[in-house]
Amino acid sequence: MPRRADSSRPDSGRTVARWALGGVLLVAGAGHLTAQRQEFQAQVPDWIPVDDDVVVVVSGVAELFLGAALILVRRQRVAVGLVVAGFFVAVFPGNVAQWREGTDAFGLDSDTKRFVRLLFQPLLVVWALWSTGATTWLARRWRAR
């Protein structure tokens, strides 16, 4: 499993970015389990064969763990970044479904707003990879092929 991008200490910009993303995930995860639970349930696509509330609770718990890992885990930082990026990719079909089905939630009350939100998902993936050093690790692996 990948460790860190290199043996040097991560720069402070990446650290702040990683902690900020961890904070965003902690807040979102808490929202899944508390006051925003119904809004998150509205975003679960109809084609998911599991109860909406189960999906929201499981994804909320996952976001809490991932957020905490981004902030607390040091030695497996790259692996955490890869998992967080994978999580953002995994939930993307739900965001597409929200746009296609015209589901209002979190102030996304028009097709344009829902579509613009889709454009931000790749930025979350890049944020997770860059802030953990996974982009460097992936680039080295790619060059070594």
What are the boundaries of each domain within the chain?
A: 12-143
pLDDT given for residue 86 in this prediction:
98
Q: Across residues 117-135, what is the average pLDDT?
A: 95
pLDDT tens track for 51-86: 999 999 999 999 999 999 999 998 999 999 999 999
Q: Does the structure show a pLDDT above 50 at 126?
A: yes
pLDDT tens track for 24-35: 999 999 999 999
Q: Across residues 122-127, what is the average pLDDT?
A: 96
Predicted confidence band at 43 (pLDDT cuts at 50, 70, 90)? Answer: confident
- Cα distance between the two ends of the chain: 17
Can you say how many angstroms the Cα of residue 89 is from the centroid of all Cα atoms in its chain? 8
Q: Across residues 113-132, what is the average pLDDT?
A: 94
pLDDT given for residue 81 in this prediction:
97
Mean pLDDT score of the chain, rounded to an integer? 90
- Radius of gyration in angstroms for the set of CA atoms belonging to the chain, rounded to a whole number: 16
Question: 43 to each of 59, 69, 89, 102, how far by Cα in Å?
Answer: 12, 25, 16, 10
pLDDT given for residue 106 in this prediction:
82
CA distance 21 to 15: 10
Predicted confidence band at 5 (pLDDT cuts at 50, 70, 90)? Answer: very low
pTM over 0.95: no
